[in-house]
Amino acid sequence: MEYKDSLKVGMIKYDDRLIAEGMGLLFETAPIGLVVLDDKGCVKSLNLYAREKFKSAAISEGSYIMDYIETVPASETFKMIRCNIDGETLIGKIEKYENGDYLLLQTEEELDQLLLGIDTYRNLLLDFKAIFDHSYDVIYVSDGQGQTLRVSAASERLWGYKESELVGKTVYQLEAEGVFTPSVTREVLEREEKVSLVQTTKMGRRLLVVGTPIKDSNGNILRVVNASRDVTELKELKGEIDLLKQMMEGYRQEIEQLRENEALERRFIARSAGMRQVIQFAQRVAKADSPILLLGESGVGKEGIATLIHKWSNRSSGPLLVTSCETVSAEMLEKELLGAEDRLGLIEMANSGTLFLEQVDKMPMSIQAKLVRALQRGILEEKKVDVRIIATASEDLKVKLEEGKFREDFYYYLNVVPIEVPSLRERREDIIPLIIHFLKELNELYKDDRKINPNVLKTLEKYDWPGNVQELRNITERLYVTSEGQEIGPEALPSSLDLINRNEQAVQVYEIMPLKSAVELVEQQLLELAGKKYASTTQIARALQIDQSTVSRKLKRYFKEE
């Protein structure tokens, strides 16, 4: 306890020293004049700016400065000071502190420029707000993964959705829900270039949409900005498109300022909330040296997460070595991990780095005993070893422990930070982005520019993927190499996966009932849905492909007033 207390005090003193050094650097390099006075009006210290301005007046530490200061009342609550040094006027204010005063000074020209910059920035913000609130067009901004960030007020008029109903959703979700077809943002992300096309909305409107990617210096897309104009009435648009180009350039300049603060993790696709939580938690524990146990089904991406943890850790400059505990014999696994007379083991080779043990539940108990002893002691064959363990298990280690098939000490050594990685069917939001990611890799590999039909994406999104991400990657590659043409269509889907008709039934029956009752129930539900979507019985009849008189008769039958 005394050691911890002294260590804590030492750390506080160290932090205080760092803070003091940082404050001193800020004081010295501030772009305004800072002068600290004692209670008699004499200079105690002044920064570089003030020393330069007062050099000609020979004012330095210890000088009496109040003869140069003139107080100019600006209001009842604020007093401004002014001083003239060799014809140059400095303006600022004086503030009290416990042992004296301190002055803040700038030249008139610098102060004017500062106020002008503030006014310009305020006006720019007002201009952007006016554009988003009053633009006739729908202005739509998403990030580099297709997640909606900002939508102008016109979206409610043209799409039937308020901004609050769209922000946070991905364009893949909105396209699947039929809000708009096709998604311009998706096209921009797939092609990585500016796209212009005609889009149909859920309300039956036709929009001319221009989608523009905003990229960083490495060519990565940071934002996609769309501007949509209603062309249902086929108006002349040339002048409007020129205006949109100017607006896009304005947005580009705004987003360019965000590039330095944008840190995109592009090595791992995680759009779903569950997977994002896993990644955020992994990043949080990466800096510690505690063992990590990655749990989850085969193919969910545990090795990718282990790689990220190593990258984010303080051991990133050391090696990351990987071995499977089920692919070799017990004797070979022992030599591979612990070494032999003529070879180093992975424990030694991974010194100062990370050792990733796959399928640790398959490790023989005899090797578990030797390994956990070396890891706990940090010594192997009288040699010091410093290695962080990340392990995966496909079976429940607690069950294996209770069955006597896993050592208790090794279980508790590994189970310090367990992380459960969700299956792909539990994070369907990741399926389409993963497919697009794999398709991009294949296009780069084969120097091609193939696309995948949106209906194929929707179908693949509904499949349960028992093999998870690995199966999804394999199927994407299979579709790519076996299909013909530049677009991968539904005909390329393998029937062996039972993908074509999966979850496509619009009407589903869950219990036995008289056929007449079932027909009446379907008719009633169809009329109710159509009544919510269409304003007249004529429109309902057209949608249901029956006579208007039949619609009127059935409405009276099923929805007669009580």
Determine the Cα–Cα distance for residues 269 and 169; give it in Å rounded to an integer. Answer: 16
DSSP 234-285: ----HHHHHHHHHHHHHHHHHHHTTGGG-----SS---SHHHHHHHHHHHHH
pLDDT tens for each residue of 54-80: 877 778 888 887 877 787 765 555 567
Q: How far apart are CA 467 and CA 473, in angstroms?
A: 10
pLDDT at 233 over 70: no
Largest CA distance in the chain: 105
pLDDT reported for residue 20 = 64
Could you check whether 2-111 and 135-261 share the same CATH topology?
yes
Residue 110 confidence (pLDDT) above 80: no
- CATH among 3.40.50.980, 3.40.50.2300, 3.65.10.10, 3.30.450.20 for 135-261: 3.30.450.20
Neighbours of 206 (CB within 10 A): 13
- pLDDT of 413 higher than 90: yes
The predicted pLDDT at position 532 comes to: 76
- pLDDT average, residue stretch 384-389: 92
* pLDDT score recorded for residue 351: 92
> Residue 261 — very low, low, confident or very high, per pLDDT cuts 50/70/90?
very low
- Cα separation, 47 vs 200, whole angstroms: 63
Mapped onto helix, strand or coil, the DSSP state of residue 109 is helix
Beta-bridged to residue 211, according to DSSP, are: 195, 226
- Listed by start position, the domains of the chain span 2-111, 135-261, 273-422, 425-497, 515-558
What is the Cα–Cα distance from 280 to 305, expressed in whole angstroms?
A: 11
Question: For the domain 273-422, what is the CATH code?
Answer: 3.40.50.300
Q: Tell me phi and psi for residue 389, to 5 degrees.
A: -100, 130
290 closest CA partner among 314, 322, 267: 314
DSSP 170: B
- The whole-angstrom distance between residue 76's C-alpha and the CA centroid of its chain comes to 49
Chain mean pLDDT for the chain: 81
Give the relative orientation of helices 330-338 and 365-377 as an angle to the nearest 10 degrees: 10
d(CA 174, CA 354): 42
Say yes or no to pLDDT of 170 above 60: yes
Report the alpha-carbon distance of residue 364 to residue 397 in Å, rounded.
Answer: 13
Section 324-333 average pLDDT: 83
Q: What is residue 506's predicted lDDT score, i.e. its pLDDT?
A: 56
Task: Tell me, letter by letter, the H, E, C secondary structure of 181-208.
Answer: ECCHHHHHHHHCCCEEEEEEECCCCEEE
Residue 436: is its pLDDT beyond 80?
yes
Domain 2-111, CATH: 3.30.450
Do 389 and 355 touch, CB atoms closer than 8 A? yes
Mean pLDDT of 466-470: 91
For residue 554, which amino acid is it?
Answer: K
For the ranges 62-76, 237-251, 464-478, 508-522, the lowest mean pLDDT is seen at 237-251
- Of the candidates 502, 479, 504, the one whose C-alpha atom is nearest the C-alpha of residue 492 is 479
Confidence of residue 521 (pLDDT cuts 50, 70, 90): confident
Q: Give every CB contact of residue 104 below 8 A, 6+ residues apart in sequence.
A: 32, 33, 34, 92, 93, 94, 95
Pairing of strands 379-380, 292-295: unpaired
CB atoms within 10 A of CB 143: 17
| Per-residue pLDDT at 13 | 53
Nearest to residue 226, comparing CAs of 194, 180, 253, 202? 194
Q: Tens digits of per-residue pLDDT, 133-155?
A: 656 577 888 898 888 888 887 77
Burial class (CB in 10 A: 0-12, 13-18, 19+), 128: middle
Per mean pLDDT, which range of 265-269, 289-293, 522-526 is the poorest? 265-269
Question: Which of these ranges, 102-106, 109-113, 339-343, 525-529, has the smallest mean pLDDT?
Answer: 109-113
CATH 3.40.50.10470 assigned to domain 425-497? The reply is no
